[in-house]
Amino acid sequence: MSALNLPKPAWRTEEHDMLAESTRAFLAKEFVPNLDRWSEAGVMDRDAWIKAADAGLLAASIPEAYGGAGGDYSHESVIAHEIAMAGADSWGWAIHGPIVAPYILHYGTEEQKKAWLPKMATGELIAALAMTEPGAGSDVQGIRTKAERSGNGWVLNGSKTFITNGQHANMVVVAAKTDPSAGAKGTSLFVVETENAPGFRRGRKLKKLGLDWADTSELFFDDMKLPAEALLGPEPNQGFYQMMRALPQERLIIAGGAIGMIERALMLTIAYVKERGAFGKKVIDFQNTQFELADMKTEATMAKAFYETCVGLHLHGQCDTVMASMAKYKLTDLQNTIVDRCLQLFGGYGFMDEYPISRMYRDARIQRIYGGTNEIMKILIARSL
Ligand SMILES: Cc1cc2nc3c(=O)[nH]c(=O)nc-3n(C[C@H](O)[C@H](O)[C@H](O)COP(=O)(O)OP(=O)(O)OC[C@H]3O[C@@H](n4cnc5c(N)ncnc54)[C@H](O)[C@@H]3O)c2cc1C
């Protein structure tokens, strides 16, 4: 089911098709009927995370030894596509599975993997990633949250903002300075379990332009005592290096969501213009409509082919920062233009909440900002010139 007619990429097997089908069926049953209610409430049901875990969506690339499905990024990519096609863009799924789980898997000690990954797979732990602070977003080096040694452990102080899953998360990967004199190299990541944890406080669930049911929030850490095992990996001051290595996958998964929304926008728009009448014709009969859609389909096809090439490279560890930055930047930009052009073809109905294209227009906007702004992506690409 796609508005594009690309052949399957080499990495896609029948198993991926089955995963796509089961994810689609799950979302249609457990998510889609609730989207309006969650949007009104500004937050999804916590229970939906558990149902998603039971359906295998939270641990696609966690190895079986740690309770996961033993897949890889290609499986995460398939799920991301289905989430976007279902219109569940507000869900902070990507932070939990394809973003935080690899931090634990790649940098955690064996004890840490055993402690956290199985619980992430079952949804007992819901993850958040807390880098951004009120005074430091793009400039991650400028963070002021700090962790100081205290006995065998650490004491964490600072505040974070714009944190996806901020209300539901009970496991937060926090970036903090452990050696402020060393600049970026003095950063460490801590895995903070928040249940009944003195010194941890959730702030406001932030009101936003889009992603209505995403519980994006502020988080506060006031003299929060952490055990030695909360430090991710065996030694401190590895955080910046750990974040840099994780970024290509974070950027790819955002690009994957962009392609999903682009395909959904095209499908919804093609169906609408074939139904809607004006001047005794259908809107599809106007040459402007045909040229608009032909142009968008061409751009979307090129974008998807590029994304799938990036996925193939990434599966072999060959999608570097530049490729991933190009995918994130160009696909999210394209997502915004295509959704805008599609909305135009809906006329006034495109501005109405009951038409999904209107929600997509709002939800698309953040894609150019989080995961590294598109300006930062261009800086990274420019370094390769
Ligand atoms: C809905 C939502 C969810 C988010 N989820 C998370 C999350 O889960 N975890 C997390 O840690 N963060 C999260 N963020 C934060 C997000 O990653 C940051 O907002 C983003 O990195 C930009 O940082 P900033 O907002 O401080 O903007 P700034 O860094 O202040 O940027 C402002 C403007 O300046 C531009 N700019 C900055 N530096 C340069 C430069 N060197 N050259 C040219 N232009 C530049 C930027 O591109 C931007 O246009 C989320 C944000 C939102 C809105």
Q: Measuring from atom 11 of ligand 1, which residue has the nearest CA?
A: 131
The contacts found for 139-143 with CB under 8 angstroms, 24 or more apart, are 140/175, 140/184, 140/187, 140/240, 140/243, 141/183, 141/184, 141/187, 141/240, 143/175, 143/176, 143/177, 143/187
Helices (H) and strands (E) in the chain, counts: 12, 9
In a domain, 7, yes or no: no
Residue 65, token pair as written in the block: 């030894």
Ligand 1 pocket member 349 (CB < 6 A): no
Q: Measuring from atom 14 of ligand 1, which residue has the nearest CA?
A: 162
What is the domain range of residue 232?
128-239
In a domain, 155, yes or no: yes
Ligand 1 pocket member 210 (CB < 6 A): no
Domains of the chain: total? 3
Q: Which residues in the chain belong to E strands, given as ranges?
A: 127-130, 146-150, 153-163, 171-177, 187-193, 200-205, 217-226, 277-278, 281-282
* Residues 253 and 339 both lie in one domain: yes
* Residues 249 and 163 both lie in one domain: no
**Distance of CA 218 from the midpoint of ligand 1 (Å):** 15
Q: Measuring from atom 43 of ligand 1, which residue has the nearest CA?
A: 375
* Residues 90 and 166 both lie in one domain: no
62 and 69 Cβ atoms separated by less than 8 Å? yes
Report how far apart, in Å, the C-alpha atoms of 97 and of each of 109, 132, 296, 361 are. 18, 19, 31, 25
In a domain, 3, yes or no: no
In a domain, 4, yes or no: no
CATH of the domain at 290: 1.20.140.10
Ligand 1 pocket member 93 (CB < 6 A): no
Q: Measuring from atom 29 of ligand 1, which residue has the nearest CA?
A: 138
Ligand 1 pocket member 216 (CB < 6 A): yes
Ligand 1 atom nearest to CA at 166: 8
Q: The whole model's pTM is what?
A: 0.97
Distance in angstroms (rounded) separating the CA atoms of residues 125 and 173: 12
**Distance of CA 371 from the midpoint of ligand 1 (Å):** 8
Which residues are paired to 201 by β-bridges?
220
In a domain, 27, yes or no: yes
Ligand 1 atom nearest to CA at 95: 8
**Distance of CA 137 from the midpoint of ligand 1 (Å):** 5
* Residues 249 and 305 both lie in one domain: yes
Q: What is the pLDDT of residue 290?
A: 98
In a domain, 5, yes or no: no
Residue 335, token pair as written in the block: 């997502």
Domain termination residue (choose one: 83, 102, 126): 126
* Residues 248 and 211 both lie in one domain: no
Which residues are paired to 187 by β-bridges?
177
* Residues 217 and 148 both lie in one domain: yes
* Residues 174 and 132 both lie in one domain: yes
* Residues 254 and 356 both lie in one domain: yes
249 and 99 Cβ atoms separated by less than 8 Å? yes
Ligand 1 atom nearest to CA at 372: 21
Sequential pLDDT tens for the chain (385 residues):
578 889 999 999 999 999 999 999 999 999 999 999 999 999 999 999 999 999 999 999 999 999 999 999 999 999 999 999 999 999 999 999 999 999 999 999 999 999 999 999 999 999 999 999 999 999 999 999 999 999 999 999 999 999 999 999 999 999 999 999 998 899 999 999 999 999 999 998 999 999 999 999 999 999 999 999 999 999 999 999 999 999 999 999 999 999 999 999 999 999 999 999 999 999 999 999 999 999 999 999 999 999 999 999 999 999 999 999 999 999 999 999 999 999 999 999 999 999 999 999 999 999 999 999 999 999 999 999 9
* Residues 109 and 134 both lie in one domain: no
In a domain, 162, yes or no: yes
Ligand 1 atom nearest to CA at 136: 26
Residue 339 backbone class (left: φ over 0; alpha: ψ -120 to 50; beta: rest): alpha
* Residues 99 and 171 both lie in one domain: no
173 and 100 Cβ atoms separated by less than 8 Å? yes
Phi, psi of 69 (to 5 degrees): -90, -10
Ligand 1 pocket member 383 (CB < 6 A): no
CATH of the domain at 122: 1.10.540.10
**Distance of CA 372 from the midpoint of ligand 1 (Å):** 6
In a domain, 41, yes or no: yes
**Distance of CA 254 from the midpoint of ligand 1 (Å):** 14
* Residues 121 and 251 both lie in one domain: no
Domain termination residue (choose one: 239, 264, 279): 239
Ligand 1 pocket member 243 (CB < 6 A): no
Residue 107's H or E segment, with its range, is helix 101-107
Look up tokens 């049953």; give the residue: 29
Report how far apart, in Å, the C-alpha atoms of 153 and of each of 4, 105, 156 are. 53, 22, 10
Ligand 1 pocket member 164 (CB < 6 A): yes
Catalytic residue status for 124: no
315 and 73 Cβ atoms separated by less than 8 Å? yes
Report how far apart, in Å, the C-alpha atoms of 60 and of each of 94, 97, 166, 299, 382 are. 11, 7, 22, 30, 34
Residue 140's closest CA among 185, 193, 93?
185
CATH of the domain at 132: 2.40.110.10
* Residues 142 and 110 both lie in one domain: no
Ligand 1 atom nearest to CA at 92: 8
Domain termination residue (choose one: 59, 93, 126): 126
Residue 60, token pair as written in the block: 């696609």
Ligand 1 pocket member 179 (CB < 6 A): no
First to last CA, the chain: 38
SS3 assignment for 155-199: EEEEEEEEECCCCCCCEEEEEEECCHHHHHHHEEEEEEECCCCCC
277 and 283 Cβ atoms separated by less than 8 Å? yes
Q: Which of 76, 133, 218, 250 is catalytic?
A: 250
Q: Measuring from atom 44 of ligand 1, which residue has the nearest CA?
A: 375
**Distance of CA 73 from the midpoint of ligand 1 (Å):** 25
**Distance of CA 370 from the midpoint of ligand 1 (Å):** 6
